[in-house]
Amino acid sequence: MLPDIQRVTDIIRDTAAAEVMPRFQNLAHGDIAEKRPGDLVTAADIAAEKRLESELTALVPGAVVVGEEAAEVNPGLLHLLTGDAPVWVVDPVDGTHNFAHAKACFAVIVAYCVAGRTVAGWIHDPVADVTAWAAEGQGTWIGERRLRVASPAPLEALSGSLGYRLRRRLQTEHPGGLGRGRLVRYGCVGREYMDLARGDLHFARYARRLKPWDHAAGVLLHREAGGFSALVHDRAPYRPDDGGVLTGTLMLAPDEATWDALHDAIDGG
């Protein structure tokens, strides 16, 4: 059974309002630390994750939590994704670098996973106070509005999220093709997934360490909004239990034909 969608939405919104937004543009020096060079954690991350863990486990007795900050301290928590208990996967502040530098592009991401697959997901934009959610077979929604991915388009008209080096390479090698579109990187995958699901971006490509708190909810939102996604090396669907933190490349597009065209343009087929 799915958890109560509206109750989860309320928990996420209340947590963001209480633990995240009061600290936005109001962090003291001691509220920001480095987990490793360039990888920040703030007091908001810690407080929001603790509150979400407490309230979400109370909502579904027997469920466990894999939170980004807890897994940083104890990577063994990732093994819970392959266990029998339902798993809440939590990113308390996605886009922490933006948040710590007072940029209004961050999100709270929550996924609910059962038997190694994501069955429900939520992405909340605390600044706009907007939540997108999806559940298996029920579509992707913001309020009463059902979301749909962008319509397929020629490569030169596509907008999408790509890393800086790949953007530069494509703009140099294909000045009349893929590189002509709006190619961006928000520094917050949650906000990118929201824009993919509502058709504001056509595609995205994420490489290397595919962390479940970044992608479990977003892939479901994109799929339930009609999109197609797969791992580049074998075309397999992304699963949050694929080793916990999967090393690979994930690409998302409006449909399979566009995915194939992007793969040909970027990887040479």
Regarding whether 81 and 119 lie in a shared domain, the answer is yes
Q: Which pLDDT tens digit goes with each residue over 174-185?
A: 666 676 668 899
Q: CATH no. for residue 199? A: 3.40.190.80
* One domain for residues 123 and 220: no
The pLDDT of residue 165 is: 86
pLDDT at 32 exceeding the cut of 90: yes
Q: What is the pLDDT of residues 188-241, one digit of tens each?
A: 999 999 999 999 999 999 998 899 999 999 999 999 999 999 999 889 999 998
Residue 29: the pLDDT is 87
pLDDT at 112 over 80: yes
Residue 104 belongs to a domain with what CATH number? 3.30.540.10
Residue 107 confidence (pLDDT): 98
Question: Which pLDDT belongs to residue 245?
Answer: 65
Asked if the model's pLDDT at residue 265 lies above 90, the reply is no
Q: Residue 239 has which token pair?
A: 């699963």
Domain encompassing residue 167: 155-267
pLDDT digits (tens, 9 = 90+) for 115-124: 989 999 999 9
Indicate whether 246 pLDDT > 90.
no
What does the alpha-carbon distance between residue 239 and residue 131 come to, in Å, rounded to a whole number?
A: 23
User: Are residues 50 and 127 both part of a single domain?
Assistant: yes
Domain boundary among the residues 118, 146, 174 is at: 146
If asked whether residues 33 and 128 sit together in one domain, one would say yes
Where is pLDDT greater, at 28 or 175? 28
Whether the per-residue pLDDT at 138 is higher than 90: the answer is yes
What total of structural domains would you count in the chain? 2
**Among 191, 182, 193, 132, CA closest to 160:** 182
End position of a domain, from candidates 120, 146, 172: 146
Strand 183-184, strand 64-67: pairing: unpaired
Q: Within this chain, do residues 11 and 140 fall inside the same structural domain, yes or no?
A: yes
pLDDT tens column, 151-167: 999 988 999 999 988 88
Taking only the tens place, the pLDDT of each residue in 56-105 is 999 999 999 999 999 999 999 999 999 999 999 999 999 999 999 999 99
204 and 75 within one domain: no
The whole model's pTM is what? 0.95
More confident residue, 268 or 43: 43
| pLDDT computed for residue 179 by the predictor | 60
Q: Are residues 40 and 130 in the same domain?
A: yes
Whether residue 126 is found in the same domain as residue 168: no
159 in the same domain as 91: no
**Same domain for 91 and 188?**
no
CB 229 within 8 A of CB 219: yes
Radius of gyration of the chain (CA): 18
Q: How far is 80 from 83, CA to CA, in rounded Å? A: 5
Residue 171 and residue 231 in one domain: yes
- Mark which of 122, 146, 170 sits at the end of a domain: 146
Burial tier of 213 (Cβ tally within 10 Å: 0-12, 13-18, 19+): buried
Q: What is the pLDDT of residue 30?
A: 93
Looking at the fold, whether 139 and 186 belong to one and the same domain comes out as no
Q: What is the reported pLDDT for 247?
A: 76
